[in-house]
């Protein structure tokens, strides 16, 4: 999900080694936003974050026997849900060894239709052979990657022609200006959202992937931000010194960002490898 002042993959890994549990608690066992149909939908957090997984899976439309790459797999909750319902083989990568260990120690009873395995790897230096996968998904992981061009280029390379990529991510609907731009520059040290939706589209096309769908679900996911920000405030209260100050600043900026910046959007992008 979100991270603070982390610029290298090693820093992002260290962050998730230390703080995966903060997100897991705030987001009901997943490390991504939840989806609610409308105001009347009173689904609890876990049901809502599982639904986001299901929306990504629907877009991947995996068929039996396919191999999928989970780019930035967290502690494996997403892949676990997919292999519980689909006869696919998932390989997940994360830059946090804590997460990889958690993911690999989830029970996978033999009656599950699919299988998942996880390893420590950097998506910007993706170690897999060309055309290894039938599909790939990246849920709230690209935001952490400094070189998105490299990450997307590698994803395209390891997908077979016709293979799908589904991205679930925050982006900006346009550039900010005035005081918002300055505040955004500060926020950028914490949240790396500042890629516009159009820039994602461009990078995908350059990488050899055609965008076939973009669905903006900002209003459907908004409800999870209160819980996430409370989680950050708790983290500030439960730590001290610089760490505590960072969480508190992240919570303040997050509140601004998620509730007062209309340009901040959350979308599902589906692309097909040419």
Residues at the site binding ligand SAH, with contacts judged by CB under 6 A = 1, 9, 12, 16, 30-32, 72-74, 77-78, 93-96, 99, 122-124, 139-141, 144-145
* Smallest separation, CB 114 to ligand SAH (Å): 17
CA 57 vs CA 29, 63, 82, 83, 146: distances in Å: 18, 11, 7, 10, 26
CB 181 within 8 A of CB 162: no
* Smallest separation, CB 48 to ligand SAH (Å): 13
Q: How far, in Å, CA of 129 to CA of 73, rounded?
A: 19
* Smallest separation, CB 198 to ligand SAH (Å): 22
Beta strands in the chain (DSSP E): 67-71, 89-94, 115-120, 133-139, 159-172, 209-216, 264-273
> In the numeric block, which tokens belong to residue 157?
């390379």
* Smallest separation, CB 250 to ligand SAH (Å): 15
Q: Which is nearer to ligand SAH, 134 or 140 (CB)?
A: 140
CA 16 vs CA 47, 97, 115, 158: distances in Å: 23, 9, 24, 25
Q: Which is nearer to ligand SAH, 16 or 258 (CB)?
A: 16
Q: Which is nearer to ligand SAH, 150 or 161 (CB)?
A: 150
Q: Which is nearer to ligand SAH, 120 or 185 (CB)?
A: 120
> In the numeric block, which tokens belong to residue 38?
């409308």
Q: Which is nearer to ligand SAH, 4 or 183 (CB)?
A: 4
Taking the CA atoms of 107, 25, 62 and 204 in sequence, report the sign of the dihedral they define.
negative
* Smallest separation, CB 182 to ligand SAH (Å): 27
- Specify whether the backbone of 185 is left (phi greater than 0), alpha (psi in -120 to 50) or beta: alpha
CB 176 within 8 A of CB 236: no
Closest CA to 9 of 117, 119, 100, 96: 96
In sequence order, which residues have a C-beta less than 8 Å from that of residue 52 and are 6 or more positions away?
Answer: 30, 32, 33, 34, 35, 139, 168, 221
Q: How far, in Å, CA of 86 to CA of 62, rounded?
A: 7
* Smallest separation, CB 104 to ligand SAH (Å): 13
* Smallest separation, CB 249 to ligand SAH (Å): 20
* Smallest separation, CB 181 to ligand SAH (Å): 26
Q: Which is nearer to ligand SAH, 43 or 183 (CB)?
A: 43
Q: Which is nearer to ligand SAH, 123 or 158 (CB)?
A: 123
CB 33 within 8 A of CB 49: yes
Q: Which is nearer to ligand SAH, 67 or 81 (CB)?
A: 81
């Amino acid at each position: 999900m979100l991270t603070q002042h982390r610029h290298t993959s090693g820093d992002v890994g260290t962050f998730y080694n230390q703080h995966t549990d903060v997100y897991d608690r705030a987001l009901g066992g997943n490390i991504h936003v939840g989806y609610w149909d409308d105001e009347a939908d009173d689904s609890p957090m876990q049901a809502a974050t599982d639904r986001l997984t299901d929306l990504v899976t629907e877009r991947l439309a995996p068929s039996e026997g396919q191999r999928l790459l989970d780019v930035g797999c967290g502690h494996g909750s997403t892949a676990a849900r997919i292999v519980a319902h689909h006869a696919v083989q998932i390989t997940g990568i994360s830059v946090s060894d804590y997460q990889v260990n958690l993911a690999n120690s989830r029970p996978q009873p033999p009656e599950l239709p699919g299988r998942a395995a996880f390893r420590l790897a950097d998506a910007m230096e993706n170690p897999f052979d060309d055309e290894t996968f039938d599909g790939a998904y990246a849920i709230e992981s690209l935001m952490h990657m400094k070189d998105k061009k490299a990450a997307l280029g590698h994803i395209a390379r390891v997908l077979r022609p016709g293979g799908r990529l589904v991205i679930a991510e925050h982006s900006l609907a346009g550039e900010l200006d005035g005081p918002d731009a300055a505040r955004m520059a500060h926020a950028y040290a914490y949240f790396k959202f500042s890629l516009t939706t159009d820039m994602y589209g461009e990078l995908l096309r350059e990488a050899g992937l055609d965008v076939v769908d973009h669905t903006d679900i900002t209003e459907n996911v908004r409800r999870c931000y209160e819980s996430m920000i409370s989680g950050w405030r708790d983290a500030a209260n439960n730590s001290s010194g610089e760490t505590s100050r960072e969480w508190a600043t992240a919570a303040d900026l997050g509140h601004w960002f998620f509730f007062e910046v209309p340009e901040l959007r959350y979308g599902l992008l589906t692309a097909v490898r040419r």
